[in-house]
Structure 1
């Protein structure tokens, strides 16, 4: 690979985007000593186009004086063309009244050179496969000491600019925003970061809108420099999508308590004849019936979570609850503190945790009553209103 060749290629003007892509990959195969011998199949694969298109663009570049080539043969067998680039010393463009056809690969194809043509000693076309000490460059090579990602600096700036123009109108503030500042940061991003930004910005905007906090959008340049779209991958981020968490985990426990804070469901099956008799009797029997019905029917989402937990299936938790759950404490199921939490469940009529073999439970820190008051306030703060539901 010749950095001089590739840097020359990205500065060429007056050619189409497809021709620029072919020219850059052609220059990427150039070696300042050995020459340039890429196959058309390689160029087609590198440019992600078909071979016919490669031939057409090579022919156009030759006609515009950007490249030239000499056909190489080994007897009757045709080998890869040896290409010359316009920046090389001694470059001689093709004759404008000559129409080459050797790109087709036919045995009788013209070489694209005058039959009487003899290259000068300094002419780049004077280097041949046979005159080279080393194997000529057909595929791009990595120069000694080349760092990973160094080739990234040789990206086609036209393509980077096109991608920026695709992205910029997506951002909510683009009408009054500084396009110059945004473009500057865009070009400083890596190719992977730009691709990720293009793919995820719409999802980021939708996620922010879903939170209801859309006032004061940050400038496009700030969004790019902070790589804010990466927040979508952070389960604790306020704009991350809901994620599935294992039973009895911190996040799962936070979701369970948040559901228990919601009002009890009122739609319950009718009392059986036996239950009606216990309710009519009053006292402990009536209270027992009420508690059993509340535990079984009062919070159906929690009961569903318990059923899933018995099958080792997790539940989907919103990012705000994931963030709150980070402060939960581990409590052993047989501890005195766990007993106090169970007693609170009984007083409230909440269903207690199923026995699935999990010895450790997670609850907000502190005594159960005080902890639930603080937990409810934390949920309200995260969701931006006074109701934890």
Structure 2
């Protein structure tokens, strides 16, 4: 099996090879190696390899997956016999580590912060501040645990909290909290490297969540998300915090609303803040509530940043989960549905978002409040 290291790849003339990303769509959307084309391993195994067949015969083909396992299988498929194929050793994660090792931390932090203040102020800082004001997310004397998973959303949220603290309109404290649920050393190092490069002083604590959910066959992603939140609440409270902040954004909200209808038969939303039911005195806030995912990606790409997505033990063999425990396949379907509807109606996203603000109880058959169901016939 032909394997090639990132170091050796970097020494090859760029025009001599073509990179092929074989990861799932959700992982590829999160970030790809520059110049790569995307053809999922699933499509390749089904024989959908037109993009690859169009690669000139004189060019090497370098396949990469997340950690270098699946790409080895793809590289050895009979359909690629006779082609000069390689599997990238260590996969995308190895590429990220190499990128971080060669980057200058101070320069990255300065550029990222300046872009929040200037180029992306309207798209990122303004909606962040608006959500905090609209939903009263930050109060005088708060101690907020800013929960960092290592992904683009939570890393940006940390930078936005640092920026809003500089404005000194409300006095509050923050702790940048990272839970290591059982990451391998490469994923742990990636989070630490990104935090250092961006000037985010993280507090890291460990749990055994990954080992626990490894034994669960049904809905491991849902259980993982529930357990994560419990551990975060517990550690935050131990550190003297009264709130935890999560990095869910506008697109997460509208996808959740639609998924509830399509897959759950219910009307509900992802709330901008809520009280914890199991940890007295604790609240959860979502200050990225008005920020669009496309703008987060634009900020990430402008600053040439590479972040972690899902790093669980299932990542290489399934569609990745979402931070709320929903499977990526359902969320991706919903994302595609919204995009398709937007082609005919450019207001569809805003209308979905507003739908849960404009509920007329007089035209609802039934609704639940505090677990009690109320039917329109009760007062007819």
TM-score normalised to the size of structure 1? Answer: 0.23
Of structures 1 and 2, the larger Rg is shown by 1
Name the structure where strand makes up a greater proportion of residues: 2
